[in-house]
């Protein structure tokens, strides 16, 4: 039988469970280095407990059983009965993988497959060793096990245990076992018994919570001890009444599983706060973003038309329109934004697992996790970043004995950082490993037949580092199934280029390597530099533009048949775009100077000669029409302020298509 994927309760569970599972991935890895962190242990325990409750309410028994076992083990850990070790963490990471697999099945509309019995047995083994009976299979008299944690928690602060809270809810709803005696002091609780239903007043609920937390209500003269109500609530049924059995751990599961329903059916028990968020389908956000893009084009058009009139009132109205459009554009973009933590959260697990398999000791530091960027970019960056981090672990950081011999700490460091720079996001992956040797890279390039020795000797360090993005280029002597810096790096470069991003590499022998990725905040609206080639307008993605200058044609040189220009003592290749893209209008130009735009293409800098510079303009990317599909060198098209069509250039593809023709 399939699940009803349109069920609102199921959708709420999926949203909550996905957030918890993402958090558990990072929390479990952190726990291995901080095994006695009480807050971390409690947070993980609550994660399993919450998923178990929601899954139980939806009758997802496979998830309930697995979470219940995991919850029991973490109950031991947070009580100090056991300490986390690497083997236990391996087991829990497997449990998390199985839960993620179950979650995927539920999301697809089917009931989850039961967990591998081997995993269940491993969890049971942790419980059978030093576990107190109350944690997994409570005995008929669990009072000794319940009371000390309650006292301990109340001494430490105002927290109450889950068992106490469950017992309190049973009393409030009239579901307590016949042998359970409710707390005797508060007279205000009397009406709750006489109503005959589940309703209690807010004052009664607050009074009972105050009582459990050891707070003194104003109306009371002699409040009972903080632990007394919880202890009394947890007392089992009297032996004289065998027909009523005490609550077991399974009974607690049922109560916990019903909690979401109880909260939905009886909101009067506690006044629910007003909802401050709403779930919206991403396709609807995409439609709104497209309409805002069209509005931006209209704004640009009106700005151009307004320049032809000398009317002050019209100018004010156009300026107001520009401000409102800009604010609306920003607001809509923010609705599509997600913190990059959604991507970063998976890397502690990736680094931990790879480091263990390679016998390395590596610490991963995450910075700027709250940096926001477009949802589509978050998804598109996931795979390239995973590949770069795996390469840093496998090839960047040395083995512990090698690091120690070099005078470094045994533990390697990898830093994954994100920061916003204007309308772009800067991502960096840094390691303190061995770094890359430019001479070795040059030699590899010659060995693979990519260039001759003379050409290799002229490469700068930056150009040497860029060689790792060549297809099939690897620095690894033995290619493993994990990675080797260079294996698949051409795919990473292609993926980043498709996002209109650029990659830069800095490396120092013995100190480490830093890869920097710069991508736009959003893919929907792009800042560009408009240029003219003949009578046709073209748009350069502004993220790729490095600088602009006027070129004296007498100061160019030709090297190996390629025209070059010296910029800050560095030779850059020079290409005439009119010969590539506007051949029908190519005429001999008598000018002695040309406009040159220096562009970042991957890790290289290239100079493009254009006929005229128009200026910067925000544009909306439109796909090419059917007749232009497959045309090389174009990322899309847009409409300019004066209503003309401008083609947006894709520089990496443009270079691959035309650069070898020696224009």
pLDDT in tens, 146-167: 334 333 334 344 456 666 666 6
**How confident is the model at residue 514, as a pLDDT?**
93
Fold of 282-335: Helix Hairpins (1.10.287)
Residues 474-510 pLDDT 10s: 655 544 445 444 446 778 888 887 787 888 888 989 8
Q: Is the pLDDT of residue 302 over 80?
A: yes
Query: What's the DSSP call for residue 246?
Result: P
Residues 182-230 pLDDT 10s: 444 444 444 444 444 455 666 666 666 666 655 444 444 444 444 444 3
Q: Is the pLDDT of residue 417 over 90?
A: yes
Dist. CA 551–CA 563, nearest whole Å: 13
Q: Is the pLDDT of residue 262 over 50?
A: no
Q: Is the pLDDT of residue 661 over 50?
A: yes
**How confident is the model at residue 598, as a pLDDT?**
92
Average pLDDT over residues 419-435: 87
Dist. CA 278–CA 335, nearest whole Å: 11
Q: 37 versus 237: which is more confidently predicted?
A: 37
Query: What's the DSSP call for residue 168?
Result: H
**How confident is the model at residue 274, as a pLDDT?**
60
What would the 3-class secondary structure string for 256-305 be?
HHHHHHHHHHCHHHCCCCCCCCCCCCHHHHHHHHHHHHHHHHHHHHHHHH
The number of residues making up the chain comes to 663
- 288: CB partners within 8 A, 6+ apart: 332, 335
Q: What percent of the chain is predicted at pLDDT more than 90? A: 7
- 329: CB partners within 8 A, 6+ apart: 292, 295, 296, 525
Average pLDDT over residues 263-289: 64
Average pLDDT over residues 137-149: 40
Residues 100-129 pLDDT 10s: 889 888 888 888 888 888 888 888 888 876
Dist. CA 305–CA 482, nearest whole Å: 58
Q: Is the pLDDT of residue 528 over 80?
A: yes
**How confident is the model at residue 367, as a pLDDT?**
92
Q: Computed over its alpha carbons, how large is the radius of gyration of the chain?
A: 33
* Pairing, β 562-567 against β 593-601: unpaired
Q: 268 versus 58: which is more confidently predicted?
A: 58
The first and second tokens of residue 422, run together, are 């204007």
Query: What's the DSSP call for residue 584?
Result: G
**How confident is the model at residue 635, as a pLDDT?**
80
CATH superfamily of 1-137: HPT domain (1.20.120.160)
Dist. CA 345–CA 113, nearest whole Å: 26
Count of C-beta atoms within a 10 Å radius of residue 175: 12
Is residue 456 within 8 Å of residue 445, measured between CB atoms?
yes
**How confident is the model at residue 479, as a pLDDT?**
46
**How confident is the model at residue 201, as a pLDDT?**
62
Choose which CATH entry (3.90.1150.10, 2.40.50.180, 2.60.40.1180, 2.60.40.10) describes domain 525-661: 2.40.50.180
Is residue 119 within 8 Å of residue 95, measured between CB atoms?
yes
Summary mean pLDDT of the chain: 75
Q: Is the pLDDT of residue 454 over 70?
A: yes
Is residue 374 within 8 Å of residue 336, measured between CB atoms?
yes
- Tell me if the domain spanning 339-520 has CATH number 3.30.565.10: yes
Is residue 564 within 8 Å of residue 558, measured between CB atoms?
yes
- Give residue limits of the domains in the chain: 1-137, 140-272, 282-335, 339-520, 525-661
Q: Is the pLDDT of residue 624 over 80?
A: no
Count of C-beta atoms within a 10 Å radius of residue 391: 26
- Cβ-in-10-Å burial (0-12, 13-18, 19+) of 412 comes to buried
Sheet of 612-620: strands edge to edge? 612-620, 525-533, 536-541, 645-649, 634-639
Span of 158-172, 470-484, 620-634 with lowest mean pLDDT: 470-484
**How confident is the model at residue 640, as a pLDDT?**
80
* Alpha-carbon distances, residue 410 vs 29, 361, 389, 397, 485 (angstroms): 19, 7, 19, 10, 21
What's the pTM value of the predicted model, to 2 decimals? 0.59
Q: Is the pLDDT of residue 358 over 70?
A: yes
Q: Is the pLDDT of residue 354 over 80?
A: yes
**How confident is the model at residue 429, as a pLDDT?**
94
**How confident is the model at residue 143, as a pLDDT?**
41
Do 1-137 and 282-335 have matching folds?
no
Strands (E), 542-640: 545-552, 556-559, 562-567, 570-576, 593-601, 604-610, 612-620, 634-639
């Amino acid at each position: 039988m399939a699940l009803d994927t349109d069920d609102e309760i199921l959708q709420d569970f999926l949203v909550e469970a996905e957030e918890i599972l993402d958090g558990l991935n990072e929390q479990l890895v952190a726990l291995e280095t901080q095994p006695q962190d009480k807050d971390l242990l409690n947070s993980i325990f609550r994660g399993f407990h919450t998923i178990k409750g929601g899954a139980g309410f939806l009758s997802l028994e496979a998830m309930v059983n697995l979470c219940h076992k995991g919850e029991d083990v973490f109950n031991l850990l947070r009580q100090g009965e056991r300490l986390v070790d690497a083997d236990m963490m391996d087991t829990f990471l497997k449990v998390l993988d199985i839960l993620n697999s179950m979650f995927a099945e539920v999301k697809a509309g089917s009931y989850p497959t039961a967990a591998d019995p081997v995993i269940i047995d491993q969890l049971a083994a942790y419980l059978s060793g030093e576990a107190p009976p109350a944690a997994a299979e409570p005995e008929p008299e669990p009072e000794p096990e319940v009371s000390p944690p309650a006292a301990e928690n109340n001494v430490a602060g105002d927290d109450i245990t889950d068992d106490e809270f469950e017992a309190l809810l049973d009393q409030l709803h009239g579901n307590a076992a016949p042998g359970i005696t409710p707390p005797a002091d508060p007279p205000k609780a009397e009406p709750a018994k006489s109503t005959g239903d589940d309703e209690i007043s807010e004052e009664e609920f607050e009074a009972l919570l105050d009582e459990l937390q050891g707070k003194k209500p104003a109306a009371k003269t002699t409040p009972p001890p903080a632990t007394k109500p919880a202890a009394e609530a947890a007392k089992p049924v009297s032996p004289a009444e065998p027909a009523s059995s005490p609550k077991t751990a399974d009974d607690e599961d049922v109560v916990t599983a019903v909690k979401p329903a109880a909260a939905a059916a009886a909101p009067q028990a506690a006044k629910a706060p007003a909802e401050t968020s709403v779930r919206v389908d991403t396709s609807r956000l995409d439609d709104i973003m497209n309409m805002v893009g069209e509005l931006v084009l209209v704004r640009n058009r009106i700005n151009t038309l307004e320049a032809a009139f000398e009317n002050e009132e019209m100018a004010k109205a156009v300026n107001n329109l520009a401000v409102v459009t800009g604010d609306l554009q920003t607001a809509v973009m923010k609705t599509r934004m997600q913190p990059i933590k959604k991507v970063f959260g998976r890397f502690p697990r990736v680094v931990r697992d790879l480091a263990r398999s390679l016998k390395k000791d590596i610490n991963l530091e995450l910075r700027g996790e709250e940096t926001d960027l477009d949802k589509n970019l978050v998804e598109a960056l996931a795979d390239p970043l995973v590949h770069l981090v795996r390469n840093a672990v496998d090839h960047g950081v040395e083995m512990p004995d090698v690091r120690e011999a070099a005078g470094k700490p045994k533990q390697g460091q990898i830093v994954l950082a994100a920061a916003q720079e204007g309308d772009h996001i800067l991502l960096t992956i840094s390691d303190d490993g061995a770094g890359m040797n430019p001479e070795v890279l040059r030699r590899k390039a010659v060995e693979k037949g990519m260039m001759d020795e003379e050409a290799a000797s002229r490469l700068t360090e930056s150009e040497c580092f860029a060689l790792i993005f060549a297809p099939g280029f690897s620095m690894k002597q033995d290619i493993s199934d994990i990675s080797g810096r260079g294996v698949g790096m051409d795919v990473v470069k292609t993926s980043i280029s498709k996002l209109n991003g650029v990659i830069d590499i800095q490396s120092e022998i013995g100190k480490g390597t830093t890869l920097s990725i710069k991508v736009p905040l959003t893919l929907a609206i792009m800042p560009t530099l408009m240029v003219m080639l003949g009578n046709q307008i073209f748009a350069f993605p502004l993220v790729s533009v490095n600088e602009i200058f006027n070129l004296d044609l007498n100061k160019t040189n030709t090297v190996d048949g390629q025209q070059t220009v010296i910029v800050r003592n560095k030779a850059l290749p020079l290409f005439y775009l009119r010969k590539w893209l506007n051949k029908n209008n190519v005429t001999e130009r008598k000018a002695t100077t040309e406009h040159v735009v220096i562009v970042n293409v991957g890790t290289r800098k290239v100079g493009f000669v254009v006929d005229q510079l128009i200026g910067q303009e925000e544009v909306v990317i439109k796909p090419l029409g059917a007749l232009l599909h497959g045309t090389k060198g174009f990322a899309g098209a847009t409409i300019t302020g004066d209503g003309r069509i401008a083609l947006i250039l894709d520089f990496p593809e443009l270079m691959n298509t035309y650069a070898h023709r020696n224009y």
